[in-house]
A and B are shown apart, each in its own frame.
Chain A
């Protein structure tokens, strides 16, 4: 290839295409998650849910999207304009950035090239996820502050403190997992779980998974931890002053977060794109990749369903309960889990 700027242009193109595909796929999935959410709510509450647009209402997301785009765009007079616009953008881009390190499949062989189905298998993969998640808080904070509305501000502060508190327990629970895997590379973690004779990580670290799951709920601001948008206390939460597609961005980023955190949980604890009892190396790479992606997506959809199920089942926490749970229950629990894991590894596997 050309040596302009000493970059491997083919690799770059390949990665750019992959990025585009993943981003559009995420957006599409998020789009249909709104539909799924309403359907699940309908089923759980014994009502039909959206059913007007198209058969079973499957065009409902597009109708919703169109509505959001068409609505009048209002930027409050007293808001901080630049930051008001920056807020939703940050929330969205932080949500999308996480998918860079998720291994969506092993690899495919196209046009004689061996294309890995992971944008970047960096050796601090899981930490990268953390960094992006922790930066994602700014979307909420900036949006809430720039609105110049006290309810928005309060919601933003709630959101930020919640995210920081639960990030801690999340990180601590992960340390135990990383002790057993010995690597932070997500691709490597999946390969370990696929190896014959090795179970999924959930079998070794059930407690870590439960803590991680709870924290993921809190990080995504999902019920029962959706305090930043507690409409009964804060009108509507941090996006109260937002309208049109800016509001859409906030709502969307929440669904994307949910999707990505499901993907991360599947990758870390449920074998990623591994199909149980199937030796993928016997299949041709492309078929294996396809099967893997389908397996991954199935697992993710299960998780997303779980997210929704919880939302329509469990009431919202009070703020002090939230903080108590985070700091006084989950953090010590995660620490204990870490200590026990460390001790077990040291005593039994120290050869």
Chain B
């Protein structure tokens, strides 16, 4: 992610009036932001709309980025807040214990899901699909830790938590992911750790 100009140089350019330079930042982070929004929305159309909204918000607020943290950490804070607002609007209960049920139902209703699994037998596809069955906050913390190059301290900053709380949340998310894999993909899991 550090190819070409670094983020701070691009931000300086944008702040001094070169609006087109912002496209470099969008290109650099679009997959990360889109993956995170997809974890929340579970739907590509909504995810794309929310992700675009996030980049527009970030552009408007760019003067507030002071460079005290990585640009990505600052951007993911906007992702987290925007996605939570999106879920609230959709009236999905983020912290409710019922969330398990909500996603189980979504899982069983998705007729293409199993077919997709037959086509994509790889471990990677299985993990991606298992993450799709997690609650948004579990899926988000796993994505931030494993794909978005964020340390536990940075994740804590993004989610507005203490570092230890973020650590515990990550452990619990991984435990729940493992349970999902064992429950929904038992055959594939047997090949990995019998």
Do A and B form a real pair? no
The interface of chain A, by Cβ under 8 A from chain B, is: none
Q: Which of B's residues lie within 8 Å of A, judged by CB? A: none
